[in-house]
Amino acid sequence: MTDDFDIREYTRTAAGSHEKTLPLEAFAEHPLSNRTLMALDYLRDLEDFTMHHMRDVLVTPSHKDARLTAFLATWAYEKFWIADAFDRILNAHPDFTPAAIRSRPRVIRFAREAIDRVSPIVTALRSNLIGEDFISIHVTRGYIDELVSRVTYSQLALHDPNPALEEVLNGFQLLRDRHLHFFAGESLRRLEESVSARTLTRSSLKRSWAPTGTHEQPIQETRLMMTNLFSDAEGHAGIARIDSVVDSLPGLRGLAVMSRAARRYGVKATA
């Protein structure tokens, strides 16, 4: 399934800055709701987290796979510019005040920094002892993240039917369709080929899964984001679609990763 993804074409046509195409004047005329701006503020931070995430990925056997490394470098580049675009949209709303307290208490920050120093070393030792099968964890998590972004964009457009926002999100989704395509193929191939990959990935997702970067955000903001976007009927349907796709992957049936994450952050299950 990965053979039809042209990595050379992808790296050659990567999307850079969106500055010239953003409809910022339209936002000035028809501003986004405060709820939407809070979501974009949060999503901008998740996109910014990509480079931090890359550090943890590339200390694993992933760095030995030239094709995967080429994809990840280009993927991170595109996500950097999506974050930049969200930042420009936020700046086009001068009356919007971001969350007042974005930083963690000092003790928590110190603990987090200590973990950040040790984590890559532990990950490198563990993953390189396991070998190539460890890569299946990263690509499957990447696949689920892209599924979540698809539903998130749909929910944002539904909750705030602003034509300029829809234009921006549709454009970003076209970019991310290529991310989804790559991660889907890599996940399926690696899970199909190896019992060990299926076991490792299932254990990782069952033990701990949330969209990449959410653990780095204040929990109250993650809870607000999840409840705002996923508590209605369409949100529940999106959660079910994500879990259904994960169910279809070899060895991952029944994990309900998105449902469990949503409940953990306060999204109530349907009656």
> Are 157 and 165 in contact, with CB atoms under 8 Å apart?
yes
Tell me if 51 sits within 8 A of 81, measured CB to CB.
no
The verdict on residue 255 lying in a domain is yes
Tens of pLDDT, residue by residue over 160-196, are: 999 999 999 999 999 999 999 999 999 999 999 999 9
The residue length of the chain stands at 271
- Per the structure, the count of domains in the chain is 1
CA distance 85 to 224: 22
Read off the CATH number of the domain in which 200 is found. 1.10.620
- Supply the range of the domain harboring residue 240: 23-264
Residue 1 lies in a domain: no
Q: What is the pLDDT of residues 1-54, one digit of tens each?
A: 445 899 999 999 999 999 999 999 999 999 999 999 999 999 999 998 887 767
Place of tokens 């890359």: 54
| Residue 212 CB contacts under 8 Å (≥ 6 apart), including other chains | 46, 49, 50, 53, 141, 142, 145
- Of all residues in the chain, what percent carry a pLDDT higher than 90? 68
In a domain, 111, yes or no: yes
Q: What residues have CB less than 8 Å from 13, skipping those under 6 apart? A: none
Q: Which pTM value belongs to this model? A: 0.85
Question: Do 124 and 59 meet the contact criterion of CB atoms below 8 Å apart?
Answer: yes
Note the pLDDT of residue 195: 95
Helix/strand/coil for 58: coil
Q: What is the 3-state secondary structure (H, E, C) of 73-132?
A: HHHHHHHHHHHHHHHHHHHCCCCCCCCCCCCCCHHHHHHHHHHHHHHHHHHHHHHHHHCH
Answer yes or no: are the C-beta atoms of 28 and 92 closer than 8 Å: yes
At residue 51, the pLDDT reads 75
Cβ–Cβ under 8 Å, residues 46 and 213: yes
Residue 215 lies in a domain: yes
Provide the 8-state DSSP code for 244: H
User: Looking at the domain assignment, is residue 57 inside a domain?
Assistant: yes
CA distances from 28 to 40, 50, 87, 88, 166 (A): 16, 29, 15, 12, 15
271 in any annotated domain: no
Give the model's pLDDT for residue 125.
Answer: 40
Lowest mean per-residue pLDDT among 9-13, 62-66, 137-141: 62-66
- Whether residue 210 is contained in a domain is answered as yes
Q: Which amino acid is located at 244 in the chain?
A: S
Check: CB of residue 228 under 8 Å from CB of residue 39: yes
